[in-house]
Chain A
Amino acid sequence: MPYLSGKETVKELRRALSNPNIQSDPLRYRNTVLKVIRAMSQGVDVSDLFSEMVKACATVDVVQKKLVYVFLCCYAHLNPELSLLVVNTLRKDCLDPNPMVRSLALRSMTNLRLPSLVEYVEQPLTAGLRDRAACVRRVAVLGWAKLHNLQPGSEIDGAVVNELYSLLRDPDPVVMVNCLRALEEVLKDEGGVVINKPITHHLLNRLKECDTWGQSEVLRVLQRYRPQSEDELFDILSLLDSSLVSPHPPVMAATLSLFLSLCSSLPAVSQAALERVRGPLLAACGSGSREMRFTALCHIQLLLRSIPGLLGEHYKRFFCSYAEPAYIKRRKMQVLVELVNDENVVMILDELKGYCTDVNTDTAQTAISAIGRIGQSYSDKCLEILTGLLGLKQDQITSAVVQTIRDLVWACPQCSDAVSSALEGCEEVLQDSQGRQALLWLLGAYGERISSSPYTLEAFIDGVRSETSMELKMELLTSTMRLFLCRPAETQDMLGRLLHYCIEEERDMCVRGQALLYYRLLQRGIAETRNVLQLRRSDPSMGVLIGRPAEPFSQWVSSFNTLEPLKHCSVEVESTSRGSPEHLASIPKSNADLPDDLDCRQLEMVHLGSDGAAQRLGCPAGLPAPGAEPSVTLSLSPAVTPEEFERLWTQRRASRSEQESADEGDDGTWIEDTIRCGAVPHCSPQSLHAAMQLVNIQTLAFTPSHSLPWKVFLYTHTWRADASCSTLVLGELLYAGELNPKRPAEGETEGNEQTQATADGDKDVKVTLRQQPHDVSALRVFLSVLTTVLHTLSSEVESE
Chain B
Amino acid sequence: MISQLFILSSKGDHLIYKDYRGEAGSDVIDVFYEKVTALTGDQPPVVMSHKDLHFVHIRQGGLYWVATTTADSSPFSIIEFLNRLSGLVKDYCGSLSEKAIQMNFALIYELLDEVLDYGYVQTTSSDVLKNFIQSEAVSSKPFSLFDLSNVGLFGAETQQNKVAPSSAATRPIQSSRDPGGKSEIFVDVIEKMSVVIGSNGVLMKADIEGEIRVKCYMPSCSEMRIGLNEEFSVGKSQLRGYGAAVRVDECSFHQSVQLDEFQSHRILRLCPSQGEHTVMQYRLSDELPSAPPFRLFPSVERDSAGRLLMYLKLRCDLPPKRSVSLLPEGAGLSQELSSPDQSAELQLQNRTVFWKIPRLCGGTQLSALFKLDVPGLSSASMLEVGPVGLSFELPKWTGTGLQIRFLRLSPVHPGPSQRWVRYVTHSDSYIIRI
A510 to B250, CA, bound (A): 61
Select from chain B the residue with minimum beta-carbon distance to A254: B74
Per-position 1/0 for A96-120, Cβ under 8 A of B = 0000100000010000010000000
Q: Does A67 make an interface contact (CB < 8 A)?
A: yes
Select from chain B the residue with minimum beta-carbon distance to A296: B76
CB <8 Å contact, A211 and B125: yes
Cβ distance A413 to chain B, nearest Cβ, rounded Å: 29
A113 to B134, CA, bound (A): 25
Select from chain B the residue with minimum beta-carbon distance to A393: B380
A667 to B141, CA, bound (A): 63
CB <8 Å contact, B387 and A354: yes
Query: Which of B49, B80, B123 meets A292, CB within 8 Å?
Result: B80
Residues B243-286 near A (CB distance < 8 A): 250, 252-255, 281, 283, 285-286
Cβ distance B131 to chain A, nearest Cβ, rounded Å: 7
CB <8 Å contact, A562 and B75: yes
Cβ distance B81 to chain A, nearest Cβ, rounded Å: 7
Query: Which of B69, B83, B283, B352 meets A289, CB within 8 Å?
Result: B83
Q: Does A188 make an interface contact (CB < 8 A)?
A: no
CB <8 Å contact, B118 and A286: no
Q: Does B113 make an interface contact (CB < 8 A)?
A: yes
Query: Which of B56, B106, B285 meets A316, CB within 8 Å?
Result: B285
Cβ distance A168 to chain B, nearest Cβ, rounded Å: 16
Output the residue of B22, B76, B378 with the most chain A CB within 10 A.
Answer: B76
Query: Which of B83, B110, B118, B122 meets A146, CB within 8 Å?
Result: B118
A562 to B43, CA, bound (A): 19
Per-position 1/0 for B273-310, Cβ under 8 A of A = 00000000101011000000000000000000000000
CB <8 Å contact, A326 and B109: no
CB <8 Å contact, B75 and A566: yes
CB <8 Å contact, B56 and A563: yes
Q: Does A738 make an interface contact (CB < 8 A)?
A: no
Per-position 1/0 for B186-221, Cβ under 8 A of A = 000000001010100000110101000000000000
A43 to B204, CA, bound (A): 53
Q: Does A295 make an interface contact (CB < 8 A)?
A: yes
CB <8 Å contact, A247 and B56: no
CB <8 Å contact, A249 and B121: no
Q: Does B132 make an interface contact (CB < 8 A)?
A: yes
CB <8 Å contact, B42 and A321: no
CB <8 Å contact, A394 and B384: yes
Q: Does A37 make an interface contact (CB < 8 A)?
A: yes
Query: Which of B134, B253, B429 meets A322, CB within 8 Å?
Result: B429
CB <8 Å contact, B74 and A562: yes
CB <8 Å contact, A563 and B54: yes
Contact status of A357 and B76, CB under 8 A, knowing A66-B134, A321-B429: no
Residues of B within 8 A of A331 (CB): 44
Residues of A within 8 A of B281 (CB): 247, 283
A74 to B83, CA, bound (A): 26
Contact status of A392 and B118, CB under 8 A, knowing A316-B205, A316-B286: no
Contact status of A253 and B384, CB under 8 A, knowing A41-B15, A283-B250: no
CB <8 Å contact, B80 and A283: no
Residues of A within 8 A of B14 (CB): 41-43
CB <8 Å contact, A283 and B105: no
Cβ distance A604 to chain B, nearest Cβ, rounded Å: 44
CB <8 Å contact, B117 and A366: no
Query: Which of B46, B118, B131, B134 meets A294, CB within 8 Å?
Result: B46
CB <8 Å contact, B110 and A366: no
Residues of A within 8 A of B254 (CB): 247
Contact status of A139 and B194, CB under 8 A, knowing A41-B14, A254-B74, A566-B75: no
CB <8 Å contact, A392 and B79: no
CB <8 Å contact, B252 and A249: no
Q: Does A486 make an interface contact (CB < 8 A)?
A: no
Query: Which of A62, A292, A321 meets B83, CB within 8 Å?
Result: A292
Select from chain A the residue with minimum beta-carbon distance to B83: A289
Residues of A within 8 A of B17 (CB): 41
CB <8 Å contact, A62 and B134: yes
Per-position 1/0 for B42-84, Cβ under 8 A of A = 1111110100001011110000000001011111110111110
CB <8 Å contact, A562 and B105: no
Residues of A within 8 A of B352 (CB): 359
Contact status of A216 and B74, CB under 8 A, knowing A139-B117, A321-B428, A567-B49: yes
Q: Does B356 make an interface contact (CB < 8 A)?
A: no
Per-position 1/0 for A318-338, Cβ under 8 A of B = 011111101100110000000
A113 to B332, CA, bound (A): 58
Residues B107-124 near A (CB distance < 8 A): 109-110, 113, 117-118, 120-124
Cβ distance A401 to chain B, nearest Cβ, rounded Å: 14
Residues of A within 8 A of B57 (CB): 291
CB <8 Å contact, A138 and B122: yes
CB <8 Å contact, A211 and B43: no
CB <8 Å contact, A63 and B134: yes
Query: Which of B15, B42, B121, B255 meets A330, CB within 8 Å?
Result: B42
Output the residue of A142, A321, A566 with the most chain B CB within 10 A.
Answer: A321
A388 to B384, CA, bound (A): 11
Output the residue of B42, B209, B285 with the most chain A CB within 10 A.
Answer: B42
Contact status of A358 and B386, CB under 8 A, knowing A174-B122, A563-B56, A566-B46: yes
CB <8 Å contact, B41 and A326: yes
Q: Does A347 make an interface contact (CB < 8 A)?
A: yes
CB <8 Å contact, B118 and A295: no
Residues A125-140 near B (CB distance < 8 A): 135, 138-139
Select from chain A the residue with minimum beta-carbon distance to B43: A327
A62 to B135, CA, bound (A): 9
CB <8 Å contact, B124 and A211: yes
Contact status of A41 and B429, CB under 8 A, knowing A113-B22, A283-B283, A567-B47: no
CB <8 Å contact, B380 and A216: no
CB <8 Å contact, B42 and A327: yes
Select from chain A the residue with minimum beta-carbon distance to B117: A142
Q: Does A250 make an interface contact (CB < 8 A)?
A: yes
Residues of B within 8 A of A295 (CB): 46, 75-76, 79
A379 to B432, CA, bound (A): 28
Query: Which of A63, A149, A280, A290 meets B106, CB within 8 Å?
Result: A63
Residues of B within 8 A of A327 (CB): 41-45
Q: Does A564 make an interface contact (CB < 8 A)?
A: yes
Q: Does B16 make an interface contact (CB < 8 A)?
A: yes
Select from chain B the residue with minimum beta-carbon distance to A38: B105
CB <8 Å contact, B120 and A181: yes
Q: Does A145 make an interface contact (CB < 8 A)?
A: yes
CB <8 Å contact, A570 and B46: no
A67 to B106, CA, bound (A): 7
Q: Does A601 make an interface contact (CB < 8 A)?
A: no
Contact status of A561 and B75, CB under 8 A, knowing A67-B109, A247-B253: yes
CB <8 Å contact, A563 and B73: yes
Jot down 22 A-B pairs with beta carbons below 8 A, ordered by A: A63-B106, A67-B106, A70-B113, A138-B122, A142-B120, A211-B123, A216-B76, A217-B120, A291-B46, A292-B83, A295-B46, A316-B205, A316-B286, A319-B205, A322-B391, A322-B431, A358-B386, A359-B351, A362-B41, A561-B75, A563-B75, A566-B44
Partner-B contacts on A (CB < 8 A): 34, 37-38, 41-43, 62-63, 66-67, 70, 74, 100, 107, 113, 135, 138-139, 142, 145-146, 149, 174, 177-178, 181, 211-213, 216-217, 220, 247-250, 252-254, 279-280, 283-284, 286, 289-292, 294-296, 316-317, 319-324, 326-327, 330-331, 347, 350-351, 354, 357-360, 362, 366, 388, 391-394, 561-564, 566-567, 570
- Could you list 9 further interchain pairs (A-B, Cβ under 8 angstroms) beyond the known A284-B76, A291-B59, A319-B194? A67-B109, A70-B109, A107-B113, A138-B117, A247-B252, A247-B281, A295-B46, A358-B386, A366-B42
Which 3 residue pairs spanning A and B have beta carbons closest together? A321-B429, A213-B121, A247-B252
Partner-A contacts on B (CB < 8 A): 13-17, 19, 21-22, 41-47, 49, 54, 56-59, 69, 71-77, 79-83, 105-106, 109-110, 113, 117-118, 120-125, 131-132, 134-135, 194, 196, 198, 204-205, 207, 209, 250, 252-255, 281, 283, 285-286, 332, 350-352, 378, 380-381, 383-384, 386-387, 389, 391, 428-431, 433
